[in-house]
Amino acid sequence: MSSVPAAPPGQPKKAATAAWIGSALEYYDFFIRPFCAMLSPCGLK
Domain ranges of the chain: 12-45
Q: For 11-39, write each residue's pLDDT tens digit.
A: 889 999 999 999 999 988 888 888 888 88
Residue 42 pLDDT grade (very low, low, confident, very high; cuts 50, 70, 90): low
pLDDT of residue 45: 56
| pTM of this structure | 0.56
- Inter-CA distances, 36 with 3, 23, 26, 27, Å: 51, 19, 15, 13
pLDDT of residue 41: 72
Residue 2 pLDDT grade (very low, low, confident, very high; cuts 50, 70, 90): low
pLDDT of residue 13: 92
